Amino acid sequence: MFLYSLILLAYHSSRWIPRNRRLKFQIVNAVFTALVLVPQLYVMTRPKSARYCKQPLLNNLAASIALSIIATGFSVVFTLLEPVPQGLWAACHFFGLVSFGQGMCGAILTLTAASCATTTPELYHMSLFLMVASILSTVVLAVKGGLWLTERQQQ
């Protein structure tokens, strides 16, 4: 859910800026998405990350990198298009479900891989960071969704 919340953050933040002045925001958006992707790629290329770990944390990191690249594409497209087509919104929400599933699988793998903290420390700590970010963004989006539902009920 962390990546899905970044897409929504980029979309809603870009709507505060007039359309003819969004170039600077798009550059900041590209730099921010690089800041999310670069540490994952760094950990993936570390020699210690290839060591044995009883949980497939390296596979989980590869999936996270793939989803980060897709999220980068969504955030760039969402800041460029106005209005965003319904089909693209549907694809983004499906991506949110996939991101939620990957986050929960990553959380389960990380919680059961405490022994990997000694064999693959960078990989374990990156997985721990991604797990916390996923859980926090899931909680924030659940609260936001609950508030949206109560607002819709009152109308």
Residues 6+ apart with CB under 8 A from 52: 119
For the chain, the average pLDDT equals 90
Return the number of other C-beta atoms located less than 10 Å from residue 48's C-beta. 12
pLDDT digits (tens, 9 = 90+) for 87-97: 999 999 999 99
pLDDT value, residue 131? 95
- When pLDDT is cut at 50, 70 and 90, the band that residue 30 belongs to is confident
Report the C-alpha gap between 68 and 118 in whole angstroms.
Answer: 27
**pLDDT beyond 90 at 142:** yes
pLDDT-above-70 percentage for the chain:
100
**pLDDT beyond 90 at 107:** yes
Residues 6+ apart with CB under 8 A from 86: none
Q: Which of helix, strand or coil describes residue 136?
A: helix
Q: What is the pLDDT averaged over residues 117-129? A: 92
pLDDT value, residue 155? 76
Report the C-alpha gap between 4 and 98 in whole angstroms.
Answer: 9
Return the number of other C-beta atoms located less than 10 Å from residue 133's C-beta. 18
CA distances from 11 to 75, 115, 137 (A): 7, 39, 16
**pLDDT beyond 90 at 143:** yes
Cβ atoms of 61 and 39 within 8 Å: the answer is: no
pLDDT value, residue 21? 82
**C-alpha dihedral sign at 93, 79, 142, 62:** positive
**pLDDT beyond 90 at 85:** yes
Residue 52 corresponds to which tokens in the numbers above?
Answer: 């044995």
**C-alpha dihedral sign at 73, 76, 81, 83:** positive
